[in-house]
Homo-oligomer: A and B are copies of this chain.
Amino acid sequence: MCPHANGDNLPTDPSQMVPVNISHTNGTTTNGVKARPNGIPGAQPRNPYAPRYADFLSNVSNFKIIESTLRGSQSSCLYAPEGEQFANAFFDTKTKIAIAKALDAFGVEYIELTSPAASEQSRSDCEAICKLGLKAKILTHIRCHMDDARIAVETGVDGVDVVIGTSSFLREFSHGKDMAYITKTAIEVIEFVKSKGIEVRFSSEDSFRSDLVDLLSIYQTVDKIGVNRVGVADTVGCANPRQVYDLVRTLRSVVSCDIEIHLHNDTGMAIANAYTALEAGATHIDTSVLGIGERVGITSLGGLVACLYAANPEYVKSKYNLSMLREVENLIASAVEVSIPFSNPITGYCAFTHKAGIHAKAILNNPSTYEILKPEDFGLTRYVSIGHRLTGWNAIKDATNKIKELADVRTQSMEDVDTVLRVYHTGIVNGDFLVGESDKLDKLLQRHRQSSASDLTTIA
């Protein structure tokens, strides 16, 4: 491929050589060679995480979120389910409404609720939420039963997932025709719901362990009947991304309706699987806040938003109120009494914490282009860990007062702050002073300055 392979025919005269600019648009992503200016004014640096042009199927910039916290939490081990015999210990109607409103304010396109046919409580909650007049569409699910269907349509939901068992399907190759059979009830339910102007979805469980031909037959059948959307699910949470891609892409070629995916997180791959499903042509992703759901849960709302934001920040910022993410997660976390995991994308304690004084010596890249996820876009500030934890609230106040005091005299750099805290910490640990003994701290700082005389630029 390289023309130089044929050595004989090459010019050996340097004056015959012409420099070629191989940098990307404005040269910021060229590594190892000096960036050369390009001739294109205002050209955007290429986002290496954006969907590639060849991925014409990709819906990474054209998707909808179906927020299932109000359904999924039902199956969580953290949650006491509704049942005939006792009250809902966590999500009373008031809480459900608060959650629905928060999700709507965040901007999810759909909110999924427990089946209104499950109990009177879930029916009236469903109705109450539908009455809120939210921007989001309200979805739920029903058994393949006209009783359920009638209850659901009266609540005011915008869409319904009809759970149809395999015994309702039959496929026969008969008399030269590919015929598929579906029970009359299924047709009746689907057409009844559609006649009310309500979206109909059909989903199956455990799609990745299903016989592919059966699965495609069934989906092809319901697509022909006219459901708005079909859903696949990794119910055991063990599917891997390329496997998800293959199934969704294959399904994409079989049905004309929308494709929804529901992914469990037992092996920690639910977010990545959701991203990859969108690349393959899925249109709707089921999420829940903090992933709460059966066992380890499903694709988390925050995690999904994070990776889609990395792929196309402008699109995601325009769709969702990102600064509400933390609030939404806090709301659910307190409702089910869990802590936000320290390693949670975006909102985890550590997510944007950088070490002071450590400049990432990027081997192949300019450190100033290091950050893709901008905390400000999520209403967060960057926490700079100055390398240690102060013990005790008083110590924090004390040290912060000292910093403020110094800052009143002149602007403090990161290194200044760093120094104050290091000196403070060492002093406390060594017993050189106690919290509140400001004079002693001043002496220590002065001594530090003198011993760092060669670093006069660090601290004035």
Contacts and interface: CB of A to CB of B under 8 A. Distances in A.
Contact of A275 (B4, B171, B241, B300): B241
Contact of A33 (B175, B214, B237, B291): B214
Nearest to A370: B236
A241 B241 contact: yes
Interface in A199-214: 203-211, 213-214
A383 interface: yes
Interface in A210-238: 210-211, 213-215, 217-218, 235-238
Interface stretch (A70-78, A127-135, A145-153, A397-405): A70-78
Given A211-B32, A272-B272, A238 B383 contact: no
B209 A369 contact: yes
A296 interface: yes
Contacts of A351: 266, 295-296
A85 interface: yes
Interface centre among A24, A178, A211, A344 (most CB of B within 10 A): A211
Given A241-B275, A296-B344, A365 B206 contact: yes
A306 B425 CA distance: 41
A233 to B, nearest CB: 9
A443 interface: no
A83 interface: yes
B349 A77 contact: yes
B49 A345 contact: no
B176 A7 contact: yes
A214 B364 CA distance: 9
A89 B389 contact: yes
Given A163-B363, A239-B49, A76 B30 contact: no
Interface residues of A, number: 123
Contacts of A295: 350-354
A165 interface: yes
A267 B345 contact: yes
Contacts of A373: 236-238, 266-267
B388 A80 contact: yes
Interface of A: 2, 4, 7-8, 10, 12, 22-24, 29-33, 48-49, 75-78, 80-81, 83, 85-87, 89, 163-166, 169, 171, 173, 175-178, 203-211, 213-215, 217-218, 235-243, 245, 265-269, 271-273, 275-276, 279, 290-292, 294-297, 300, 303, 306-307, 310-311, 338-339, 341-345, 348-355, 358, 360-365, 369-373, 383, 385, 387-389, 422-423, 425-426, 429
Counting from the closest, the 7 A-B pairs by CB-CB distance are A272-B272, A341-B341, A77-B353, A7-B176, A268-B303, A267-B307, A241-B241
Contacts of A242: 241-242, 245, 276, 279
B164 A240 contact: no
A360 B236 CA distance: 11
23 contacts: A23-B211, A49-B239, A81-B355, A86-B422, A86-B425, A89-B388, A165-B361, A204-B363, A205-B360, A205-B362, A205-B363, A205-B365, A236-B370, A236-B373, A237-B373, A238-B310, A238-B373, A240-B275, A242-B242, A268-B271, A272-B272, A290-B343, A297-B343
A132 to B, nearest CB: 28
Given A205-B360, A205-B362, A300-B268, A4 B86 contact: no
A408 B114 CA distance: 38
A338 B8 CA distance: 65
A2 B344 CA distance: 49
B310 A83 contact: no
A425 B85 CA distance: 9
A266 B353 CA distance: 12
Contact of A364 (B12, B87, B207, B362): B207
Contacts of A75: 355, 358
Contact of A22 (B77, B213, B245, B361): B213
Given A211-B24, A214-B31, A265 B345 contact: yes
Contacts of A240: 49, 272, 275-276, 279, 307, 311
A39 to B, nearest CB: 19
A8 B176 CA distance: 8
